[in-house]
Amino acid sequence: MTEVRIRPRQVLILIIVFIVLLLMVHRNGKRTCDGPDYLQAMYTQQQSDTLPKIYAITPTYARPAQKAELTRLSHIFMLVPNLHWIIVEDSNSTTPLVRNLLLRAGLENRFTQLNIKTPQEFKLQGKDPNWIKPRGVEQRNLALTWLRANVNVDRHAIVFFMDDDNSYAVELFAEMSKIKPGRVGVWPVGLVGGLMVERPLLDQENRVVGFNAAWRPERPFPIDMAAFAISMDLFIKYPQAVFSYEVQRGYQESEILRYLTTRDQLQPLANNCRDVLVWHTRTEKTKLTAEEELIRKRKRSDEGIEV
């Protein structure tokens, strides 16, 4: 039988290769954002009481998919105890559909239901593309008025503009909770602006120095509404910070942020803006041709049923 001799140098090389492989496996398997164990510990009752409250402002309006959209969002609120939902309906009064949904989700003490109607001249008509007119201006401004009148200014809180058709990872709200007083936190958004991801660009010191936006990159803040959240104290400090109809298309984000911060003061989050935790999705317009035919016959498939 042939004797196999392994020299000490060969043993050392094998050990080094083994250690390198272990490190590569560990690095590739490591989550870039805080994972489920972290979130579970963070959101225990004792811990959640010390977190800043996040006020999520959601403009909404009556349409066939409204309940489905809001139901999906409500699941985020069930998982994140420091979230308070401000839903502002584009209507002359609040509706039982929205209130019942909030109550069924177990959010009795964690929502505010408001309403204000968009002026007729700013409402989308017929086949108007959804970008032709500014949306949610009245609703977001009413929510800001409510916040300024009702929030305890001595406790740190966060404000986030949460559209009802986007997709959100629960980790996003853990990131939001890291926003410091007097700061605006920013992160990437997926599937927006004609890109796979729009994101802030950072220098070697992890400061925001620009953005990779392809659409109207000359905007002061060329980011999506889902790309930032704001420390509540800034809205108290700058009461003139509101949304406006008198701005160019795509400038609503820049309009609100210009009152509150500058680029160099933005606080990058989500693994220094390398993790995507929110996506600019949109539900396809509901096709109800058969339902319309029933209505012409004075019938409905949902008679006595809330859909």
Which whole number is the average pLDDT over 25-34? 49
Q: Known binder of ligand: residue 140?
A: yes
Lowest mean pLDDT among 100-104, 120-124, 171-175, 292-296: 120-124
- Backbone phi, then psi, for 282, in 5-degree steps? -150, 130
Q: Known binder of ligand: residue 148?
A: no
Rounded to the nearest 5 degrees, what angle is found at the Cα of 124, between the Cα atoms of 64 and 118? 90
At residue 192, the 3 state secondary structure works out as strand
Q: Known binder of ligand: residue 156?
A: no
Which whole number is the average pLDDT over 133-155? 95
Q: Known binder of ligand: residue 203?
A: no
Q: Which CATH number fits domain 47-178+225-262: 3.90.550.10, 3.40.50.720, 2.40.30.170, 3.30.420.340?
A: 3.90.550.10
Using CB atoms within 10 A of its CB, is residue 30 exposed (0-12), middle (13-18) or buried (19+)? Answer: exposed
Q: Known binder of ligand: residue 90?
A: yes
Q: pLDDT class for 13, splitting at 50, 70, 90?
A: low
pLDDT of res. 28? 44
Residue 208 has pLDDT above 90, yes or no: yes
pLDDT of res. 27? 47
pLDDT of res. 34? 59
pLDDT of res. 290? 97
Residue 31 has pLDDT above 60, yes or no: no
Q: Known binder of ligand: residue 94?
A: no
Output the CA–CA distances (angstroms, integers) from residue 262 to 45, 64, 184, 215, 227, in the order listed.
Answer: 35, 40, 9, 20, 15
Q: Known binder of ligand: residue 251?
A: no
pLDDT of res. 47? 64
pLDDT digits (tens, 9 = 90+) for 247-265: 999 999 999 999 999 999 9
255 as an active site residue: the answer is: no
Contact 75, 100 (CB under 8 A): no
How does DSSP classify residue 53? E
The structure tokens listed for 299 are 């019938």
Of all residues in the chain, the percent with pLDDT exceeding 90 is 77
Q: Known binder of ligand: residue 61?
A: yes
Lowest mean pLDDT among 24-28, 68-72, 143-147, 201-205: 24-28
Residue 229 has pLDDT above 90, yes or no: yes
Q: Known binder of ligand: residue 59?
A: yes
Residue 220 has pLDDT above 70, yes or no: yes
pLDDT digits (tens, 9 = 90+) for 63-97: 999 999 999 999 999 999 999 999 999 999 999 99
CA 307/CA 291 separation, integer angstroms: 13
Which whole number is the average pLDDT over 25-37? 51
Neighbour count for residue 288 (Cβ, 10 Å): 12
What does the mean pLDDT of the chain come to? 90
- Backbone phi, then psi, for 60, in 5-degree steps? -150, 160
Residue 126 has pLDDT above 60, yes or no: yes
CA 249/CA 29 separation, integer angstroms: 42
Contact 186, 200 (CB under 8 A): yes
Q: pLDDT class for 134, splitting at 50, 70, 90?
A: confident
Catalytic residue among 89, 138, 171, 253: 253
Which whole number is the average pLDDT over 94-108? 97
Domain boundaries, the chain: 47-178+225-262
CA 7/CA 259 separation, integer angstroms: 70
